[in-house]
A and B are shown apart, each in its own frame.
Chain A
Amino acid sequence: MSDRSSDVEVVARVVGGDGEAFGIIIQRYEPGLLRFATRMLGSSDAAADAVAESLVRAYRHLAQCRNPARLRSWLYRITGNRCHSHLARRRTGEVPLEDVPPIADPADTWEVLERGEQVALVERALAALSPEKREAFVLKHVEGMSYEEMAAATGSRIPTLKMRVHRAREALLAALEERV
């Protein structure tokens, strides 16, 4: 079966005993899950661990994915839960930032910052959010999910998610506007 198969078809194939077909699911969703987990945990190493654990868990419970047509939301839900567990173990919910360039001169405006410095600023602002707001912002604006998809991926209600996204935007904008 080519990898133009739908998620429903691939899941059916894996559950039917073709474990190698799970590679198609990894190929499709790993980049997004790694990106999401990196933003949640602030570390590419921690993100790799979290996503690997999540994908193995997803494989083991694939038969319980209630609606394979919503596989993406289900995978993000597992990965999000794993990230929250990692963060809970850190107790503070703080995100360590690795390999981040030093903060630029506070007198510089946003526009004159080097791209790396801009990334650092945004990453710091994101890391300062609560895990719930961080997750909501990343799913909405980095992973491009609709609120309905986010509700399926997080188990939270849409009004709650909107509130979290709105608050995250306020916090990020405030952090970015301090540069001006």
Chain B
Amino acid sequence: MTSIDRRLQEALDGERDPATLPAELREAYARLVGAAQLLSHTPPASVAERVMAEVRRLPAPASAALAFEDGVARRVARWFAQPRAVTLRLRPAWTLAIAAALAAVVFLPLAESVAPGAEEGVAQFVGHFPGARSVEVVGSFNDWRRGALPLSDEHHDGIWHGAVVLPAGQHEYMFVVDGERWVADPLAGRYVDDGFGRENALLIVRPAVGP
């Protein structure tokens, strides 16, 4: 794929008057604008009746104070209440509510599994990948090796999770879904350019507090 002239990109971004483009770029500009116009046809169908029928069956929207309901959000809350490590990747607007839940996660008794040492902490990873066959975490903490940190979805509900002890500090990572799709964790909240045209999620592991 050939890179197109910066002036053309600027004109398409509204940062340059297209009239100032040379002739060959004006033609390309018109072609792309024309293509976009062709795509602007609005489908005739409406879903209004269908949606309103459903809305009339439902109670009024719950209050803004982190009202969880059935569905993925409730399952996330259950994950935090149970003795397992889970972070949930949720793409809808619940992301903000879930991020707040993450911030308010309860202390759970640290029982039979590995305890972090000094200058170590626990990192939880969770992703919502319905239909995925495998999800793993690859990052700077495992030398970017595949196969070192698989997540599990034991309830087969598309929620993949895992937790590890890591040195306190900053770590970059990505999820790899089905062995081939690299995804920056949408719930990470922190991202950094990877220098290869993508973004890595950035994790800051806090030192664990003693029991």
Q: Do chains A and B touch in the complex (CB under 8 A)?
A: yes
Q: Chain B 23-37, CB within 8 Å of chain A: the 1/0 string?
A: 000001001110110
How many Å lie between the Cα of A118 and that of B36 in the bound state? 11
Asked if B45 is at the interface (CB within 8 A of a chain A CB), the reply is yes
Pairwise interchain contact B60-A81, C-beta atoms closer than 8 A: no
The interface residues of chain B lying within 8 Å CB-to-CB of A141 are 12, 32-33, 36, 39
Pairwise interchain contact A14-B45, C-beta atoms closer than 8 A: no
Pairwise interchain contact A172-B67, C-beta atoms closer than 8 A: no
Asked if A174 is at the interface (CB within 8 A of a chain B CB), the reply is yes
Asked if B145 is at the interface (CB within 8 A of a chain A CB), the reply is no
Q: How far is the CB of A133 from chain B (nearest CB, A)?
A: 11
Task: Kindly identify, within residues 3 to 26 of chain A, every residue whose CB is under 8 Å from any CB belonging to chain B.
Answer: 14-17, 19-20, 22-23, 26
Pairwise interchain contact B3-A64, C-beta atoms closer than 8 A: no
Pairwise interchain contact A169-B12, C-beta atoms closer than 8 A: yes
Given contacts A27-B48, A44-B45, A142-B40, contact A169 B4 (CB under 8 A): yes
Please tell me which one of the listed residues A17, A26, A115 contacts residue B52 in the complex, with CB atoms under 8 A apart.
A26
Task: Kindly identify, within residues 169 to 194 of chain B, every residue whose CB is under 8 Å from any CB belonging to chain A.
Answer: 178, 186, 191, 193
Query: How extensive is the interface on chain B, given as a class?
Result: 35 or more
Please tell me which one of the listed residues B9, B12, B31, B186 contacts residue A155 in the complex, with CB atoms under 8 A apart.
B186
The interface residues of chain B lying within 8 Å CB-to-CB of A126 are 39
Given contacts A15-B61, A63-B63, contact A57 B38 (CB under 8 A): no
Nearest residue (CB) in B for A80 is B91
The interface residues of chain A lying within 8 Å CB-to-CB of B58 are 19, 56, 59-60
The interface residues of chain A lying within 8 Å CB-to-CB of B114 are none
The interface residues of chain A lying within 8 Å CB-to-CB of B31 are 110, 173, 176-177
Asked if A148 is at the interface (CB within 8 A of a chain B CB), the reply is no
Asked if A51 is at the interface (CB within 8 A of a chain B CB), the reply is yes
Please tell me which one of the listed residues A14, A38, A44, A174 contacts residue B2 in the complex, with CB atoms under 8 A apart.
A174
Pairwise interchain contact B61-A62, C-beta atoms closer than 8 A: yes
How many Å lie between the Cα of A140 and that of B54 in the bound state? 31
Asked if A136 is at the interface (CB within 8 A of a chain B CB), the reply is no
Given contacts A48-B45, A56-B54, A89-B130, contact A142 B39 (CB under 8 A): yes
Residues on A close to B: CB < 8 A?
14-17, 19-20, 22-23, 26-27, 30-32, 34-35, 38-39, 44, 47-48, 51-52, 55-66, 74, 77-78, 81-82, 84-85, 88-89, 91, 110, 115, 118-119, 122-123, 125-126, 137-138, 141-142, 147, 155, 157, 159-160, 162-163, 165-167, 169-174, 176-177
Closest 5 CB pairs of A and B: A81-B91, A141-B36, A52-B47, A62-B61, A63-B61
